[in-house]
Amino acid sequence: MTQASVVSAARNELDWESFFDAHGAFIFSAVRRFGGPGIDAEDATQDVMMVVLKQHPRFEGRAALRTWLYRICINVASEHRRKHRRRAAFESVLEAVAFWRSRDEQPRLDARHALGQVQALMSKVPEKYRQVLILCELEGLATSEVSKVLELPEPTVRARLHYARKEILSLMRDQKETGR
């Protein structure tokens, strides 16, 4: 679905099936990366689609469609992370009480464990740095594109990327030294 068709559809009705076919995987991937460990990416994807449903008449096409979608994904993922943090304390108590139920579980796969470690490291990076790191390193966007998505000057994006990389390397060194 082209940007022009979204703009013209915004004035009429949006073809949701075509829109989701064209952008659903992108949205799911983006909210999963921005949301980090613990959020339900499928729920977040649905929430993004609800925001698109409400906001598509206001999309004027001045920015690229992906830029607009990234902004929505970042906002929705941030909200899901906040909700997750509020539930985390309660869930950890439940896990501690119900630990006996897991005695027959198989050990986790190494790949899943490694992914969990990466997500844990990413969750320790301040959000303003994490967003830039995800967009540049994982999503492959240029700093000029990230500048538009995050509505920041490009030098700010480059500085945040620098500090994000530095923070990740420091966290990895600390983890290796402590054996965690």
Where along the chain do its domains lie?
1-105, 108-180
- In this predicted structure, what is the pLDDT of residue 168? 82
Which CATH number applies to 108-180? Answer: 1.10.10.10
Residue ranges, the chain, pLDDT below 50: 6-11, 89-90, 92-94, 96-111
Q: Any alpha helices (H) in the chain, and if so which ranges?
A: 3-11, 16-35, 41-55, 65-97, 110-124, 127-133, 143-150, 154-178
- In this predicted structure, what is the pLDDT of residue 180? 58
Dihedral sign, Cα of residue 88, residue 93, residue 98, residue 100:
positive
Q: Do the domains at 1-105 and 108-180 have one common CATH topology?
A: no
Which CATH number applies to 1-105? Answer: 1.10.1740.10
pLDDT in tens, 79-131: 888 777 655 544 544 454 444 344 444 434 444 565 667 777 888 889 999 89
Phi first, then psi: give them for residue 120, nearest 5 degrees. Answer: -65, -45
Give the closest residue to 87 by CA, choosing from 156, 38, 150: 38
- In this predicted structure, what is the pLDDT of residue 10? 44
